[in-house]
Amino acid sequence: MPPIRVLQVMPAMDAGGMETFVMNVYRTIDREQVQFDFLYHYDKPCFFDDEIQALGGRLFKTTVRQDNRLPRYLRELRALFAAHPEWRILHGHYSGFGMFYNTAARRAGVPVRVGHSHNTAYEHNLVGLLDRLMSSRFSAGLTDRFACSRQAGEMLFGSAPFTVLPNGIDTAVFAARDPRRRALLRGELGVADDEILLGHVGRFTAQKNHPGLLRIFAAAAKRMPRARLVLLGGGPAPYIEQMRALARDLGLGERVIFAGVRSNIQGFYDAMDAFLLPSLFEGLPVVLVEAQTAGLPCFVADTIDRGAAFTDRVHFLPLQDPEAWARCLAAASLRRDPDARRKAVDAGYDIHTSARVLQEFYLRRYAEVTA
């Protein structure tokens, strides 16, 4: 019997937290029983495209987020669902356009329409306002709901029932320490053995608050003269250049390293001595799970759900007070947690747990609607 095919609906599959979680699940599930296809809202090459296709997934790309041609998008949806009657389950991770693709799927006879909440707020701009308005219609078209945290589920689904599914990772990979890898990567970055390397992983968007991060580091650098900061992640080139200019304006010079998008993120946690996450809002950030599992001390904004902490190395700090961050960083022990992996597994963050939950859900719901 061929595997059932589940359509995962995404903005695109670039290197971000939501996308990484879906890929972690995809790598781990039994693909002889469940296969994934992907619907994008951008027609462009993406970070995970090659891996998806190597794993047996199919890519379907629309242009609606590039050209805003909604009538064309609706026609494409109708044609897509008509051409693929094998899809009995749709898993939507993109709430903003859910009112359109859920409706098209329902009318095409797709019986299981799953929604997944990955955030706790919207950006404070016009795009965020539009996303909030469009997402308000998301829950009504769903048959099942998941969320990465209680706060994320309540934000998007309100009083409707949902299942909390932690953002699992491969804990064995992120907990593995390799002194040789640490030395190699620090050498590549030009970081000396006696320097303290602070790190951040995140796409360059308003949500991740890179301006605030650079101001935090500027305050910390005055107290920690041997500190450096590495930023991992991609984003729009003009915005990244703005952040480079801000780093120069703050007098940080070569102390900030813009390392771009990397495929070996787990190795960079080895290279770091501490992890910073001053996001304006989050659901349950995958990168915080990764950094904790690596044993790193983590300094994060108090906007992030405290339930995301499963080690005692997480410090929650006021978002608008760079000096508070600087004082905490300078005074904190940067010793790693040697028992971090066990704590991650016990807290439910191992990807084998997350993948098993979703695989069993897909198989059960498929059996129910095809009986």
pLDDT tens readout for residues 295-323: 999 999 998 988 889 999 999 999 999 99
Q: Which residues contact 150 (CB under 8 A, 6 or more apart)?
A: 164, 305, 307
* Co-location of 240 and 99 in the same domain: no
Q: Give the burial class of 83: count Cβ atoms within 10 A of its Cβ; 0-12 exposed, 13-18 middle, 19 or more buried.
A: exposed
* Residues 366, 367, 369, 371, CA torsion sign: positive
CATH of the domain at 84: 3.40.50.2000
- Look-up of token digits 């998941």: 146
* Co-location of 281 and 356 in the same domain: no
Number of structural domains found in the chain: 2
Kindly tell me if the per-residue pLDDT of 124 is higher than 80.
Answer: no
| Residue 167 pLDDT level (bands cut at 50, 70, 90) | very high
* Co-location of 178 and 324 in the same domain: yes
Kindly tell me if the per-residue pLDDT of 46 is higher than 90.
Answer: yes
Kindly tell me if the per-residue pLDDT of 48 is higher than 90.
Answer: yes
Q: What is the mean pLDDT of residues 176-181?
A: 90
pLDDT tens readout for residues 252-275: 989 999 999 998 899 999 999 999
Kindly tell me if the per-residue pLDDT of 82 is higher than 80.
Answer: yes
* Co-location of 323 and 340 in the same domain: yes
The most distant pair of C-alpha atoms in the chain lies apart, rounded to whole Å, by 66
* Co-location of 205 and 262 in the same domain: yes
Q: Which amino acid is at 22?
A: V
Give residue 175's pLDDT. Answer: 94
* Co-location of 31 and 118 in the same domain: yes
* Co-location of 321 and 339 in the same domain: yes
Cβ count within 10 A of residue 352: 15
* Co-location of 232 and 258 in the same domain: yes
Give residue 9's pLDDT. Answer: 98
What is the value of pTM for the model shown? 0.88
Query: CA dist 218 to 92, 272, 307, 316, Å?
Result: 40, 18, 29, 19
* Co-location of 56 and 41 in the same domain: yes
| % of the chain surpassing 90 pLDDT | 88
* Co-location of 314 and 361 in the same domain: no
* Co-location of 28 and 153 in the same domain: yes
SS (H, E, C) the chain: CCCEEEEEECCCCCCCHHHHHHHHHHHHCCCCCEEEEEEECCCCCCCCHHHHHHCCCEEEECCHHHHCCHHHHHHHHHHHHHHCCCCCEEEECCCCCHHHHHHHHHHCCCCEEEEEECCCCCCCCHHHHHHHHHHCCCHHHCCEEEECCHHHHHHHHCCCCCEECCCCECHHHHHCCCHHHHHHHHHHHCCCCCCEEEEEECCCCHHHCHHHHHHHHHHHHHHCCCEEEEEECCCCHHHHHHHHHHHHHCCCHHHEEEEECCCCHHHHHHHCCEEEECCCCCCCCHHHHHHHHCCCCEEEECCCCHHHCCCCCEEEECCCCHHHHHHHHHHCCCCCCCCHHHHHHHCCCEHHHHHHHHHHHHHHHHHHHHC
* Co-location of 149 and 178 in the same domain: no
Give residue 284's pLDDT. Answer: 86
| Residue 327 pLDDT level (bands cut at 50, 70, 90) | very high
Which structural domain range is residue 134 located in? Answer: 4-168+350-370
Give residue 158's pLDDT. Answer: 93
